[in-house]
Structure 1
Amino acid sequence: MTEENIKTEKEEQDSLQNETKVETQTAINNDQEASAENASENQIENEQDQASEESEELSPEKIEIKRLEQELEEKQNRLLRLQADFENYRRRVRLDQEAAMKYRAQSLIENLLPVLDNFERALNIEVKEEETKQLLKGMEMVYRQLQDALKTEGLNVIEAVGKEFDPNYHHAVMQVNDSNYESNVVVEELQKGYILKDRVIRPTMVKVNQ
């Protein structure tokens, strides 16, 4: 093979390689252009869809439906609050009625406490005449009947002497120093105290050991 033939063959190979490169690059460029076109078309479609959705959301029908839904939700919340308020009101009324029934006699009993005090003072008087003794016995019977009637309403005497001083039940008016009692213990009852069921209506007036 002559040198000229070798040169010609080499030129043909170079030309063939160049053509292959050009075709490859052209194909790549075409693919890129196609991808760009697809991306552009997809973007346009997405924008159109979004615009369509926004258009639907802003349509009068959608706005009216949303307004009605919000109004319905507000009315439902208001109804729930009214129901809760009504239940609280019913509970308060029931508790007030129960308390009124439980302590229905409190006002009357409080007015009768001075009567009990006077009965006790009268019964503590020492007498010698037989007629006076008989009178005191009759008064004692009336006093016991009154006590029983009040006890059926839930009235009880507060125990004091020998008990530790409790400000919830006792009202200290004096302090003494008595070795027969421990410190802070009630040594004497000056006026009886009373409790109506579970409510103190008058604390016991007492002397307390130091």
Structure 2
Amino acid sequence: MAEQAQEVNEKVELTEENPAEAVFAEEETTEETNVQDLLKDIEELKNKLDEADNRYLRLQADFDNFRRRSRLDQEASEKYRAQKLVTDLLPALDNFERAMKVEVDNEQTKSLLQGMEMVYRGILDALKKEGLEPIEAVEKEFDPHMHQAVMQESNENYGSNIIIEEFQKGYLLKDRVIRPSMVKVNQ
């Protein structure tokens, strides 16, 4: 406050002594104020630019993440495109397997059974080309991700947690379990 009063007194003295100098001093003060205002404006603009750059970088990162997720979703969709068809055909494969276990005694039934085996193998080969694989179960260690235990039994011929019998085959499509094996496990 005291400094401002001193400046005003100096201006008044300058005005009394030399009016031209007073105008010049007033212009310098105005220029200093203008320069300070411009510096503030520049600083505000720099802050706004930094904020806009940060928003742009975040938006670009979000878009890159979206593009990556979309690509991964598309790859997964392509990889497992046959899953619905395979899932729908598994009961038919089970029925073929049951039918082929039937004991036959005449030639006509044997030839019919051979035809069924050929159809079964053809379907199984086509599904294998799509990535379908049966899950190995009997005499393997029980894995809850691959097997579904429906029974337990104590059998001294097998180790603990070993599968004794398979009731229904399980299948993998590529690396995904389509259907777990239904099994009997040793305690």
Per-residue deviation, 1:184: 0.8
Residue segments in structure 2 that go unaligned for 5+ positions in a row: 1-28
Distance 1:71 1:123, change over 3 A: same
Residue 13 of structure 2 corresponds to none
Choose from 77, 81, 92 the match for 2:54.
77
Distance 1:78 1:57, change over 3 A: farther
Q: Secondary structure at the match of 1:166?
A: coil
String of CA shifts for 1:140-193, please: whole Å, max 9, x gaps: 000001100000011000000000111111100000111211111000000000
Q: Distance in 2 between matches of 1:182 and 1:68?
A: 76
Residue 95 of structure 1 corresponds to 72
Q: Secondary structure at the match of 1:59?
A: helix
- Number of residue-to-residue matches in the alignment: 157
Following TM superposition, where does structure 1 have runs of at least 4 consecutive aligned residues deviating by more than 3 angstroms?
55-58
With the length of structure 2 as denominator, give the TM-score of the two structures. Answer: 0.80
Per-residue deviation, 1:63: 1.9
Q: Distance in 2 between matches of 1:98 and 1:61?
A: 55
Deviates more, 1:84-93 or 1:124-133: 124-133
Q: Secondary structure at the match of 1:143?
A: helix
* CA RMSD across the alignment: 1.5
Q: Which amino acid aligns with 2:112?
A: L
Q: Distance in 2 between matches of 1:74 and 1:177?
A: 70
Larger radius of gyration: 1
Per-residue deviation, 1:58: 8.0
Choose from 73, 78, 101 the match for 1:124.
101
Q: Secondary structure at the match of 2:148?
A: strand
Distance 1:60 1:181, change over 3 A: same
What's the % identity of the aligned pairs?
62
Choose from 165, 168, 172 the match for 2:142.
165
Q: Which amino acid aligns with 1:136?
A: L
Is 1:146 aligned to residue 130 of structure 2? no
Per-residue deviation, 1:60: 2.1
Residue 194 of structure 1 corresponds to 171
String of CA shifts for 1:56-92, please: whole Å, max 9, x gaps: 6983212211111111111000000001001100110
Residue 91 of structure 2 corresponds to 114
Contact 1:56/1:62 (<8 A) preserved:
no
Residue 178 of structure 1 corresponds to 155
Residue 204 of structure 1 corresponds to 181
